[in-house]
Chains A and B, each alone.
Chain A
Amino acid sequence: MTTTPQTRPDKAAVKGADRTDVTPGGVGDSPSRPDGILKVTGEFSYSSDMWLDDMLWGYTLRSPHPFALIKSIDISEALATAGVFAVLTSEDVPGENFYGLEHADQPVLAKDIVRYQGEPIALVAADHPEIARRAAEKITVEFVVLAPVVDAEVAIGHKPWNPPAESVDAGVDGQVPHLHPNGNLVRHLKLRRGEQDATADVVITGEYEVGMQDQAFLGPESGLAVPDEEGGVDLYVATQWLHVDQRQVCAALGLPPEQVRLTLAGVGGAFGGREDLSMHVHGCMLALRTGKPIKMVYNRLESFFGHVHRHPAKLYYEYGAERSGKLVYARVRMYLDGGAYASSTPAVVGNAGTMGLGPYVIPHVTVDAYGTYSNNPPCGAMRGFGSVQTAFAYEAQMDKLAAELGLDPVAIRQMNALEEGAQVPTGQVIDSAAPVVELLERLKAMPLPSTESDQLDLRRMPGGVSNTTHGEGVKRGVGYAVAYKNVAFSEGFDDYSTARVRLEVSGGDPIVTVHTAAAEVGQGLVTIEQQICRTELGVDSVVVHPKDTSVGSGGSTSASRQTYMTGGAVRHVCGKVRDRVLVLAEASLGRTVSDLRLENGSVVSRSEGVLASIEQVLGDEVVEETDEWRHRPTHGLDPETGQGFAHVQFAFAAHRAVVDVDVELGLVKVVELACAQDVGKAMNPQAVVGQIQGGSAQGMGLALMEEIVIRDGKILNPSFTDYLIPTILDTPPMPIEVLEYADPNAPYGLRGVGEAPTISSGPAIMSAIRAATGLDLTRAPVRPEHITRT
């Protein structure tokens, strides 16, 4: 290890006081968000806040059935309703009726079959949202209801370990209906490494299940589609990737990109749930048909049907180990239920399959990861993307192995930990820091919260103010878990981002404008873009241009990739701008100077000090550059062995959870959730800590309370009354340690931050409950009955 790590506790990180070399407001500082004032005053314009004088409201009629044939659709009564301007069905889709991120398999509007509950069938535009909703109720759809395919293993003809109680009588031997022309298998990833028939002294098996999680971003799906006079449309929408939306909207509308212009509207959180289209095509269709602007806003109930969720998973794990605790082999089968349409299932399977054994060295590996179609709600991207589900299994296996051998759970993780130079199961060598041992060490060294429970404060008890215990029956447990996550797009994807940077003098001062199409969803990319421009160009005043499709693609705001990718693009283009300014500077000086740079609004030489101000050098000249920037190439996996250099970078985080469990009632209170994470370089320490804490809370939700409950393909809890996300009362203090081991391949040495903490927090909580109760706990979220075994 050549780099010296710096760790900073949260408070110091927020102040950034220890950093003398930092450009004020630049990289490494924690300046305020450029949209912050608008957000605290209520003036920031989210996608549901937009408004035009003569706009109409759009509404979507959705299928009540998870699987049915459509015999007929009668829109006449709806169309005759006063205040209704248009009612559209699949016949009105101007272009291709199919779209999708990886496979175009999802209809814009269902034609003769629906494959999930909530699938869009018809659209209404009216002058009041309630008129649109009531008109939609008057659309008569004649269905032939079919028995839904509701189990991933059944869907592809595998025998489930635990047959679903109320499954369709579909059998397991090929009697299952094919939901798509090529059958129900979306992807099978095979990983084969080392000896396939390895044996070991100790064998640990487990069957794990993870429920379907919802992104539950607070800003509902929404947008405004505005027709132009020439048959084109401007769409203002909350999304994670404007250009991939544009491609799909163009295909559905049968229009060229020049006629479909997208602008990012204010995004109220995303977490993967906005990678797929929602109202995009629907709003544009209604706008083009009526000639009027169309506003669409889903309410919370519709939102549960309006975006993909995290894949539920069934995971079969067998580990072999030496008596010492050293892992020898892993044999794993995993099933990820993709639901009705493919969305990003292939990539989720790629992550689950390649990352699903955790940050541990295992010489002999057999993994089969399956992604399937079913009639359950479509699943796709959510923060942690395939790694979250598998972490519950691999960390449960580590706990079980430790228990079997009577070893310390932390020691067994450290004994098997990946480190720099090690090979992961795909054969890829980790070529930068992998501080798994140290992350665990640092967590162990953090002081534990006091065990003296405050008997009088019910708010700190399991069950809270429901007054279910005053401490009797409460047991404390401490658990650890480690995450590793691939950053950015993998498996040979041509992953790039585009930046445009302009430097000019305005009102006597230099000002930079940075323009990218990379979506700001709350994470703070707009702040990072400003910080990079300040550091690279030495100019304080940086304007972030609205995000739109008039500049090249910024790629997806997902996979923890934007600070790396769009940050990398902005830095790269700033370099080109700086080079031109320095050429101008030398021209005006009439000589060459060897070590020029831009700092504090001036052209500076190390040897001669300040030579000129940027204003003097630039005058009326506007220096603008636009370019794409790519991370180092990756490669596809061998289809038989799953071997290959598939991932750009790995991010590592670890959690220590402390819980109090009421073992009589099965209630859990998380007392503290500590995290240590290596971020390579804390670009904005305050935002880094915010990402870690927010991600940790989402992982905690999946461990303890968050699940979309499905029966026979139908969602039973599509509301915030019944789908619970953590409140401030549920969420414990979260001390954070941030390590900075630079990755030499990445801009500024940074590592993507956003996802890793979502991966290890839930498994650490499960581990802590295991420690408190001695139970195996094979299912997340854990329910009271799993603890009380009643």
Chain B
Amino acid sequence: MRITTTVNSEPRDVDDVWEGESLLYMLRERMGLPGSKNACEQGECGSCTVYLDGVAVCACLVAAGQADGRDIVTVEGLTEGNDLHPVQQAFLDAGAVQCGFCTPGLVVATHDLLARTPQPGDSEIREYLAGNLCRCTGYEKILDAVKLAASRMASSPTKVAK
């Protein structure tokens, strides 16, 4: 089947998509956007988190066909020109990236959290990010990164583009 979407603000059409494919497979294998990760493909890890019409979803749980006619933003779409988004910069600066396989999903999820709750408390951060597994860091530096991003974004507000 043919799927027509907007991905990271660009119109993207894909042909020959098999009905059983997930949005994650389509992004990774048919659109050349492997930034969204495939750690479990069963909705348990959050490594595939993307925005679908502005809502953060697990791309592995969305059928490719469901994305037809819709707007998708992936981790690749968060950079602002050549600049990292403050969330991305904060993950880097806080040492929240080791193997980095969880990072794209966490960056998108954090981006979403801060759009809703610009100054989250520790418990709010933990609750919101509980669907994103990280096996390397023990999460302490991820918590640091979220707080660092929140404080930097508060002091120099950037538009949170979706």
Interface pair B133/A733, CB less than 8 Å apart: no
A376 within 8 A of B: no
B-side contacts of A48, CB under 8 Å: 34, 38
Q: Mark A36-68, 1 if CB is under 8 A from B, else 0.
A: 110111111110110100000000000000000
A32 within 8 A of B: yes
A-side contacts of B99, CB under 8 Å: 217-219, 267-270, 521-522
A459 within 8 A of B: yes
Q: Whose C-beta in chain B lies nearest to the C-beta of A728?
A: B139
A689 within 8 A of B: yes
Q: What CA separation (Å) do A35 and B103 show in the bound complex?
A: 12
Interface pair A727/B133, CB less than 8 Å apart: yes
A30 within 8 A of B: yes
Q: What CA separation (Å) do A729 and B126 show in the bound complex?
A: 5
B-side contacts of A522, CB under 8 Å: 98-101, 136
Interface pair B129/A728, CB less than 8 Å apart: yes
Within the complex, the shortest CB–CB distance from A51 to chain B, in Å, comes to 7
Given the known inter-chain contacts A216-B135, A729-B126, please indicate yes or no for A690 contacting B42, CB distance below 8 A: no
A686 within 8 A of B: yes
Interface of B is mostly: loop
B-side contacts of A523, CB under 8 Å: 98
Interface pair A41/B138, CB less than 8 Å apart: no
Q: Which of B34-93 contact A (CB under 8 A)?
A: 34-42, 44-45, 47, 74-76, 78-79, 84, 88-89, 91-93
Within the complex, the shortest CB–CB distance from A274 to chain B, in Å, comes to 11
Q: Which residue of B28, B44, B84, B132 contacts A37 across the interface (Cβ within 8 Å)? A: B84
Number of interface residues of B (CB under 8 A): 59
Q: What CA separation (Å) do A73 and B107 show in the bound complex?
A: 47
Q: What CA separation (Å) do A555 and B24 show in the bound complex?
A: 36
Q: What CA separation (Å) do A696 and B141 show in the bound complex?
A: 13
Interface pair B91/A40, CB less than 8 Å apart: yes
A-side contacts of B104, CB under 8 Å: 40, 42
A-side contacts of B36, CB under 8 Å: 42
Interface pair B45/A41, CB less than 8 Å apart: no
B102 within 8 A of A: yes
B130 within 8 A of A: yes
Q: Whose C-beta in chain B lies nearest to the C-beta of A733?
A: B140
B20 within 8 A of A: yes
Interface pair B79/A690, CB less than 8 Å apart: no
B117 within 8 A of A: no
Interface pair B29/A40, CB less than 8 Å apart: no
B9 within 8 A of A: no
B-side contacts of A547, CB under 8 Å: none
A-side contacts of B33, CB under 8 Å: 42
Q: Whose C-beta in chain B lies nearest to the C-beta of A736?
A: B140
B123 within 8 A of A: yes
B-side contacts of A124, CB under 8 Å: none
Interface centre among A689, A693, A725 (most CB of B within 10 A): A693
A-side contacts of B100, CB under 8 Å: 35-36, 39-40, 44, 268, 522
Q: Which residue of A219, A301, A689, A733 contacts B39 across the interface (Cβ within 8 Å)? A: A219
Within the complex, the shortest CB–CB distance from B100 to chain A, in Å, comes to 3
Interface pair A40/B97, CB less than 8 Å apart: yes
Q: What CA separation (Å) do A14 and B95 show in the bound complex?
A: 9
B-side contacts of A267, CB under 8 Å: 99
Interface pair B84/A694, CB less than 8 Å apart: no
B-side contacts of A40, CB under 8 Å: 84, 88-89, 91-92, 97, 100, 103-104, 107
A-side contacts of B32, CB under 8 Å: 51
Given the known inter-chain contacts A128-B18, A523-B98, please indicate yes or no for A43 contacting B35, CB distance below 8 A: yes
Q: What CA separation (Å) do A731 and B35 show in the bound complex?
A: 26
Q: Whose C-beta in chain A lies nearest to the C-beta of B29?
A: A51
Interface pair A42/B95, CB less than 8 Å apart: no
Q: Which residue of B38, B42, B126, B136 contacts A728 across the interface (Cβ within 8 Å)? A: B126
Q: Mark A710-727, 1 if CB is under 8 A from B, else 0.
A: 000000000111000111
Within the complex, the shortest CB–CB distance from A519 to chain B, in Å, comes to 11
Q: Which residue of B35, B41, B93, B107 contacts A32 across the interface (Cβ within 8 Å)? A: B93
B23 within 8 A of A: no
Q: Whose C-beta in chain B lies nearest to the C-beta of A50?
A: B34
Q: Which residue of A41, A219, A465, A719 contacts B42 across the interface (Cβ within 8 Å)? A: A719
B15 within 8 A of A: no
Q: What CA separation (Å) do A37 and B125 show in the bound complex?
A: 23
Q: What CA separation (Å) do A692 and B140 show in the bound complex?
A: 11
A-side contacts of B89, CB under 8 Å: 40
B142 within 8 A of A: yes
A-side contacts of B123, CB under 8 Å: 457, 459-460
Q: What CA separation (Å) do A459 and B121 show in the bound complex?
A: 12
Interface pair A219/B95, CB less than 8 Å apart: no
Q: What CA separation (Å) do A35 and B92 show in the bound complex?
A: 10
Q: Whose C-beta in chain A lies nearest to the C-beta of B87?
A: A40
A708 within 8 A of B: no
Interface pair B135/A690, CB less than 8 Å apart: no
B-side contacts of A30, CB under 8 Å: 95
Interface pair B135/A725, CB less than 8 Å apart: yes
Q: What CA separation (Å) do A719 and B123 show in the bound complex?
A: 27
Interface pair A49/B28, CB less than 8 Å apart: yes
A788 within 8 A of B: no
Q: Whose C-beta in chain A lies nearest to the C-beta of B131?
A: A727
Given the known inter-chain contacts A49-B34, A690-B137, please indicate yes or no for A727 contacting B130, CB distance below 8 A: yes
B-side contacts of A459, CB under 8 Å: 123, 126-127
A118 within 8 A of B: no
Interface pair B35/A41, CB less than 8 Å apart: yes
Given the known inter-chain contacts A35-B100, A522-B100, A694-B138, please indicate yes or no for A721 contacting B42, CB distance below 8 A: yes
Q: Whose C-beta in chain B lies nearest to the C-beta of A729?
A: B130
A317 within 8 A of B: no
Within the complex, the shortest CB–CB distance from B129 to chain A, in Å, comes to 5
A-side contacts of B18, CB under 8 Å: 128, 130
Given the known inter-chain contacts A219-B39, A522-B100, A719-B42, please indicate yes or no for A693 contacting B84, CB distance below 8 A: no
A-B contact pairs, 21 of them (CB 8 A): A10-B140, A33-B92, A40-B97, A43-B35, A46-B101, A48-B38, A51-B32, A218-B134, A268-B100, A299-B38, A300-B40, A300-B41, A300-B42, A524-B98, A687-B95, A689-B95, A694-B135, A720-B40, A721-B42, A729-B127, A731-B139
Closest 10 A/B residue pairs (Cβ) = A42-B35, A522-B99, A39-B100, A268-B101, A693-B138, A697-B138, A720-B44, A49-B34, A42-B75, A40-B88
Residues of A within 8 A of B (CB): 10, 14, 30, 32-33, 35-37, 39-46, 48-49, 51, 128, 130, 215-220, 267-271, 297, 299-301, 457, 459-460, 465, 521-524, 686-687, 689-690, 693-698, 719-721, 725-729, 731, 733-734
